[in-house]
Structure 1
Amino acid sequence: MACRQLAGGTQNNLFELTREDGSTTVLRRPPRHPRPKSDETMLREARVLTAIEGHGVPQPTCHAVCDDPGVIGTCFYVMSAVGGFAPVGDLPGRYATDPDWRHRLGLAMVDAIASLARIRPDEVGLGDLGRPEGWLERQVGRWRKQLESYAAFDGYDGPDLPGVERVGDWLEANRPGDFTLGIIHGDYHLANVMASHDRPELTAVLDWELTTLGDPRLDLAWLLTTSGGVGSFETMADGFPTTDELVARYGDRTGLRMDDLTWWRALACYKLGIILEGTNA
């Protein structure tokens, strides 16, 4: 069997395994220097991929999982190899020339998380994946605590996030009255999916390390936030769906309320800002 490391997987490592007959699979494992919960993350990803298979979410198939760190030094799992490309930067082939393909790709991005939102956690054995009780109430405190934890980093002079406290206070004061429990990906954006070269559709949603239970509307808000501005659906080239189209499509596919996404988009920005602050700390 031949093995080579693949590009991608910024937090964890991917290795392509090729057998003598030419068939390939992909091994996913934590980095060389694992974080405290790296093994738990691997097992969590494998569990979710196994549970949601066959429910309309494009994904790799999880073939096997190893929960014994003694085998290669960490827990890991083996999944199917997925063809395609990450739709960031200059798009290849017909995507570059056909506005209809770009439009359908944008809709496919929403369709994938809409399919995930329709899965009932209890029905696929994921009812204990997270703590749904008080999920809305915990969000601001959870991310404030993370921001405060950066103070332990050597050379960190404190947060450079003007208005972060004001945004957190606004989120607390304007918390939505409705909450829908579902499975969320947690980091859904253009670099964490693979698109087909042959058809304007997704071949897989990848990097499930932040998956948990929560309100699925946060995945939509995260997509809108991370694909906004320069290089977004609306500014990269003609043909991509507008924000209004993406929101309407998601609402139609999930039945969730879309009348006011302001709070969800603000939470996505708040979370993203704090995560990026940690990257730069």
Structure 2
Amino acid sequence: MTLTDQSTQVRPGEELDIARIDPYLKAHIPDLRGTPQISQFPGGASNLTYLVQYPTHELVLRRPPFGHKAKSAHDMGREFRILNQLNSGFPYCPKAYVHCTDTSLIGGEFYVMERVKGIILRADLPAELNLDAERTEALCKSFIDRLVELHQVDYHACGLTDLGKPEGYVQRQIEGWSSRYEKALTPDAPRWEAVVAWLHDKMPDDHPQPGIIHNDYRFDNVILDAANPMHIIGVLDWEMTTLGDPLMDLGNTLAYWIEATDPAPVQLMRRQPSNAPGMLTRRQFVDYYAERAGISLDNFDFYYAYGLFRLAGIVQQIYYRFYHGQTQDKRFAQFVHMNRLLEHMSLQLIEKSSL
């Protein structure tokens, strides 16, 4: 059994035309020979990711999803630029080779990057890794260290000063996700009115030291070295990266972080092995981040509640496409139930918060 992340058969309705892709890639990337085989990586629920295998090269192609898309989402050119320029300050970015703006080739823009081959952790730690609690804790801390490292990158030196506007970031995120959620509402979805009101009322000032934020940092976007699984060699999915408040980014990551002691309904939502013996709790995660970043974090409730609401917004945008028949991916049928659970978790957090 291989632990390296594997691609599978392309999902129906999401196929790529080899006869159109192949000559384009050969015209823009040197030394490609033969006819490629195209398969699809099964993870992810936003941009679509394909493996394009030539006899001597393995490439990864990223394209937007089919169907309804938020106006500012899925900017292939922006993601391509981030990979190229951020790599000098954060060497875990894959190298990007070409960005195609001709939508006639596959029905949308796309870009192609190198394949960083390694292990991507999904719901559970593979038994073959033989990670005891001590090594799991070390892996968890390494995961947090990379996030701190990203937040401390000199984005001016990387030429990414214009990537976003840090001033007013917190307010823009709360107002922006409130608006996006309203636009993606379906009749069966919760409205989140109490949580949104609380977030507006408790909104803190922006962090005094803005940084590059990933906006989707979790274990299934991190690649481990197959020869040394304790070593992180890549970070994926840069489509939502911008400049802003690093604590908001930390809140995003914690929204995915399901602890071993969380109730059974929450465990059903888990997509990464954050419940494994040795993994830090959310409170320990925040404390370790603060220690490594050299900052003080007395109360993290606002940022965690924001992360849960933002995750619900993403979930609902995806469910909107399924509800209206714009995607046939059956995974998305249950996303409205996940949305309701996220609202329940947020209301419980607010009820206990000292803010």
What range describes the TM-score normalised by the shorter chain of this pair? 0.7 to 0.9
Match of 2:174 among 132, 140, 147: 140
State the AA in 2 paired with 1:194: I
2:202 counterpart of 1:174: yes
Within 2, Cα distance between the matches of 1:252 and 1:10?
33
Name the residue aligned to 1:237.
Answer: 276
Q: Name the structure 1 match of 2:329.
A: none
SS in 2 for 1:124: coil
Return the alpha-carbon distance in structure 2 between the equivalents of residues 149 and 128 of structure 1. 28
Larger mean CA deviation between 30-39 and 1-10 belongs to 30-39
- Equivalent position of 2:297 in the other structure: 258
**Identical residues among aligned pairs (%):** 31
Q: Does structure 2 conserve the Cα–Cα contact (< 8 Å) formed by 1:5 and 1:13?
A: no
Tell me the secondary structure at the aligned position of residue 75 of structure 2: helix
1:35-90 Cα deviation digits (max 9, x unpaired): 47589611111111111113245231223323343555432222111122321223
Return the alpha-carbon distance in structure 2 between the equivalents of residues 196 and 61 of structure 1: 17
- Is 1:222 equivalent to 2:252 in the alignment? yes
Q: Report the counterpart of residue 187 of structure 1 in structure 2.
A: 216
Q: What is the letter of the counterpart of residue 254 of structure 2?
A: L
Compare 24-33 and 76-85 and name the one that shifted more. 24-33
Report the residue type matching 2:307 in the other structure. A
Greater shift, 63-72 or 137-146, is seen at 63-72
Q: CA 1:53/1:221 → structure 2, altered by over 3 Å: closer, same or farther? A: same
Task: Report the CA distance shift for 1:138/1:31 in structure 2 as closer, same or farther (over 3 A).
Answer: closer
Write the mapping of 1:203-222 to structure 2, written as runs, cut at 5 A.
Answer: 203-222=233-252
Q: Does 1:273 align with 2:312?
A: yes
The verdict on how the C-alpha distance between 1:278 and 1:40 changes in structure 2, with shifts beyond 3 A counting, is: closer
- Select between 254-263 and 80-89 the one with higher mean Cα deviation: 254-263
Q: Which amino acid aligns with 1:276?
A: V
2:352 match: none
Deviations 1:11-54 (A, max 9, x none): 2222323333x232222222355847589611111111111113
The 3-state SS of whatever aligns with 1:273 is helix
Deviations 1:114-144 (A, max 9, x none): 1110113332122222233322222222122
SS of the residue aligned with 2:161?
coil
1:115 aligns with 2:149: yes
| Aligned twin of 1:129 | 163
SS of the equivalent of 2:51 reads strand
- 2:224 partner letter: A
Secondary structure of 1:207's aligned partner: coil
In structure 1, give the amino acid aligned to 2:95.
Answer: T
Question: For 2:204 and 2:123, how far apart are their aligned partners in 1?
Answer: 35
In structure 1, runs of 5+ residues without a counterpart are none
- Contact 1:90 1:96 (8 Å CA) reproduced: no
| Farther off after superposition, 96-105 or 181-190 | 96-105
Distance in 2 between residues matched to 1:12 and 1:58, nearest whole Å: 20
For the structure 1 residues 254 and 55, does the alpha-carbon distance in structure 2 shift closer, same or farther, using more than 3 Å as the test?
A: farther
Counterpart for residue 50 of structure 2: 15
- Give the conservation status (yes or no) of the 8 Å contact 1:57–1:112: no
Closer, same or farther: CA 35–234 of 1 in aligned 2, 3 Å: closer
User: In structure 2, what is the equivalent of residue 101 of structure 1?
Assistant: 135
- Normalising by structure 1, report the TM-score: 0.84
Superposition CA RMSD, Å: 2.8
Say whether the 8 Å CA contact 1:110–1:220 is kept in structure 2: no
Residues 272 and 32 of structure 1: CA distance in aligned 2, closer, same or farther (over 3 Å): closer
8 Å CA contact 2:257–2:274 kept in 1: the answer is: no
Q: What is the alpha-carbon distance in structure 2 between the residues aligned to residue 34 and residue 146 of structure 1?
A: 13
Amino acid at match of 2:255: T
Q: Is the 8 A contact 1:186 1:211 kept in 2?
A: yes
Structure 2 counterpart of 1:15, one-letter code: Y
Question: Higher relative contact order at CA 8 Å, sep ≥6: structure 1 or structure 2?
Answer: 1
Do structure 1's residue 85 and structure 2's residue 113 form an aligned pair? no
Q: Residue by residue, what CA displacement relative to the aligned partner does 1:237-281 show, whole Å, maximum 9, x if unpaired? A: 312223344223322333344232221111111212233233344
- d(CA) in 1 for partners of 2:187 and 2:271? 32
Q: Name the SS for the 1:248 alignment partner.
A: helix
